[in-house]
Structure 1
Amino acid sequence: MIGLFKVKEKQKEEAKNNNARGASAKKQSAGELRLHKDITELNLPKSCSISFPNGKNDLMNFEVTIKPDDGYYLGGKFVFTFQVSPVYPHEAPKVKCKTKVYHPNIDLEGNVCLNILREDWKPVLNINTVIYGLFHLFTEPNHEDPLNHDAAAVLRDNPKQFEANVKRAMYGGFVGQTSFPRCI
């Protein structure tokens, strides 16, 4: 009878140890599994790169750097943060531009106006699609769906002035009353 109690105590102790180990090796959410798949299948343009400032153990928060090789923003370096929800892909990632930029589709706080990050998001879309969408904003800024209405108006009404403003901003100058850090 004493031997039976010792066996039960040993089983309880093993279960407790297994639970403690299981807590440190947490189970991945469906969103983390899908994101891992998306990241392993990335096919980025050579002017884009991805990094994980919190280490590879935190896939849900990462940065994408875009260095446009064409258009108004040629030579610039723009960093975006991605925060991915555990319910991804049923919810679009939250994307912000860390680089202050003069752009009709990115406001001065870094909010990004990209339809696939809002009303046109669908679970079949992926991180690769979002990065290409961001890249496209730099090759073809859109004055018809702006967050920065002043930049959009200049792009629409005076593309040469818009180009001059972009260059001035990228070299760390002022556009109107707004100062921009150098990003070229």
Structure 2
Amino acid sequence: MAPRKGQQIFQATLELLATRGYEGLTVEGVAERSGVNKTTIYRWWPSKAALLAAALVETDLLAMETPDTGSLRKDLEALVHGMIALLTQPPAADVAVAALGAAVHHPELATAAQHFFADRLARETAVFDRARRRGELRDTADPMLIMDLLAGAVWLRVVFRGLPLDDDFAAAAVAAVLDGVA
């Protein structure tokens, strides 16, 4: 498949997900919106969950730059700011919430979400590798746990509690994880 056509299909997939939710996302709708035949889509992706999984990983809509500020603390704050933007600014916020919310009820999509998060953690590993080389992070520290604590804090505040995040939230969350709360 031509890269441009693939991006059109992914864009149509994410637009429909954002506007109609996972239940309203159909291969037929994606085909119509992207201007391709649905058999073309099924040739590359066997289901709408597989199509959505590819769209989430292959597009830049939910991508975040991996920061390199020279400091673990500042890199983590930048990552938290990126997560906040993803969950508060349309269309990324609509896509993220719809996709991950649907993953709870659809095992195939849950597998796609696991792949998505594994891909993101692999991209963030450089932050932790640099921090270890600078002596800011012990070798036994668990990057996944650190990112889960930070991302969980953002998700809970924004998505589940519906609370706004002030400018100091990223620094406070990172301080709580790196320094503890006692």
TM-score of the superposition, structure 1-length normalised?
0.29
Which one has a larger percent strand, Structure 1 or Structure 2? 1
Which one has a larger percent helix, Structure 1 or Structure 2? 2
TM-score of the superposition, structure 2-length normalised?
0.29
Q: Which of structures 1 and 2 has the bigger CA Rg?
A: 1
Give the number of the structure with larger relative contact order, counting CA–CA contacts within 8 Å between residues 6 or more apart.
2
